Structure 1
Amino acid sequence: MTTFDCADPTARRAGIAAAVQAARAGNLVVLPTDTVYGIGADAFNAAAVAQLLAAKGRGPDMPVGVLVGSWTTIDGLVTAVSPVARRLVEAFWPGGLSLVVEHAPSLAWDLGNTGGSVMVRMPLDPVALELLRTVGPMAVSSANVTGQPPATTAAAAQAQLGDKVAVYLEAGESSVGEPSTIVDLTGKVPRILRQGAESLDRIREVAGEVIPAGS
């Protein structure tokens, strides 16, 4: 278990290199995002994803989402990107909006009991983006034990997760400090599953009709 202070350029380079190595070896990494800190693993390493769920105290019935490092990565993860999904990606990514879409059936991953869908987001954080662009898509969930408050610093994540994580990337307080808004695009009308960093009104400006959370 090693922590790197990404405010220092030398430590940031070393930290990202260590995080890449850890992820490729099937170990867990805590990384900063704009919303809250995340605990991540290589999305295509089923054992590492299972380890992530175990670290959080979750089972496969609570599947993990995926963070990507570019707009175009989503094209390789889904069968087709709908016009509304494309508009939301272009309007909100990188940022605090997660999209639930049907994933391509050919993908060799096991994120839990997803029912053929995947939650995808591109975070607005330079450290996260650099890591994701090197590793590729990562399975990432909030860096906390299930039922405990989400961590907004790597230190807060370490207090909960300890040595279950190989590398902690500390980049200070998360700029948003609350989880992303989740929009489900698998139905006929977009539906908000969780209201978070992005407002319903702003999402409606881009997507048109949207079913609010809890409706």
Structure 2
Amino acid sequence: MSTVFDCRDEGQLLAGMRHARQAIARGELVVLPTDTVYGVAADAFSPAAVQRLLDAKGRGREMPPPVLVAGQDMVAALVEEIPVPVQQLIDAFWPGGLTIVLPAQPSLTWDLGETKGTVAVRMPDRRVALELLAETGPLAVSSANLTGRDAAVIASDAQEMLGDSVAVYLEEGYSENGIPSTIVDATSLVGTADDEHAVVRILREGAVSREQLEEVLGDLLEPAEQPGDVTPEDVAVDSGGKPVDAE
């Protein structure tokens, strides 16, 4: 049976964080607040836990979840390389609503789904999420909703959809903006520093606007798609043409 903790109350916050850590360690799911929408989290290094997350949402392995991190040190351990333009994006928009797709570190033993060797990473801007990540390490986190339904902007919305498939719900009121993160694909920048065709592609527009990205990247940002070509909310494609999921 699920347990709900109101993290706006300091006493419940401490208990909720303890129960959340224990649930993650057991391979169970936790719903937590982020600065974009509420997310459902699992141990990124437990294939069974990641599969449990996908099952709870009614989603297949062709839509692997992104990974939330507590800081850049965690990112460096997960990705093959952090190119200079990606570092500029991190400096400008993290913590915040930008998810960056990069080639994953080949030595990692994990299974997030059909990632084509990539990982989508983000550092959220929310106290509860960052404190939990600092204690658990990287978490696979998808928007806390059933596939095809709106992302939850408060824990009670997530609970209505996900029910007892989640062990712990961390409530912290409404998300600040309720807009999913922007997803960019920076895989072409890795190992191709002198390649004039290396660009950053927007896979999904969200909390960070194209204009904000252009200010940082300039000509490295791929030109805008024609109207109607932008990937819809909560569906994007990775560099291999496969869908990816993000919160």
TM-score, structure 1 normalization: 0.98
Residue equivalent to 1:140: 141
Number of residue equivalences: 215
> For 1:145-156, what aligned pairs fall within 5 Å after superposition?
145-156=146-157
Work out whether 1:198 is the aligned partner of 2:199.
no
Residue equivalent to 1:117: 118
> For 1:1-215, what aligned pairs fall within 5 Å after superposition?
1-187=2-188, 188-209=198-219, 210-211=221-222, 212=224, 214=229
Task: For residue 204 of structure 1, report the CA deviation from its aligned partner.
Answer: 1.0
Task: For residue 71 of structure 1, report the CA deviation from its aligned partner.
Answer: 2.1
Task: For residue 70 of structure 1, report the CA deviation from its aligned partner.
Answer: 1.0
Conserved in 2, the CA contact under 8 Å of 1:71 and 1:93?
no
Identity over aligned residues, as a percent? 54
Conserved in 2, the CA contact under 8 Å of 1:66 and 1:137?
yes
Q: Distance in 1 between matches of 2:217 and 2:46?
A: 33
Q: Distance in 2 between matches of 1:200 and 1:169?
A: 32
Conserved in 1, the CA contact under 8 Å of 2:80 and 2:102?
no
Structure 1 residue runs without a partner (length 5+):
none
Deviation larger for 148-157 or 70-79: 70-79
Task: For residue 185 of structure 1, report the CA deviation from its aligned partner.
Answer: 0.3
The letter of the residue matching 1:2 is T
Q: Distance in 1 between matches of 2:218 and 2:121?
A: 20
For residues 16-61 of structure 1, the C-alpha deviation after alignment (integer angstroms, 9 at most, x for no partner) is 1110100011000000000000000000000000000000001101
Conserved in 1, the CA contact under 8 Å of 2:79 and 2:104?
yes
Structure 1 runs (4+) greater than 4 angstroms displaced: none
Q: Distance in 2 between matches of 1:152 and 1:70?
A: 24
Task: For residue 72 of structure 1, report the CA deviation from its aligned partner.
Answer: 2.1
Conserved in 2, the CA contact under 8 Å of 1:26 and 1:47?
yes
Q: Distance in 2 between matches of 1:3 and 1:92?
A: 31
The letter of the residue matching 1:42 is D
Larger Rg: 2
Structure 2 residue runs without a partner (length 5+):
189-197, 231-247
Q: Distance in 1 between matches of 2:143 and 2:110?
A: 20
Q: Distance in 2 between matches of 1:194 and 1:70?
A: 23
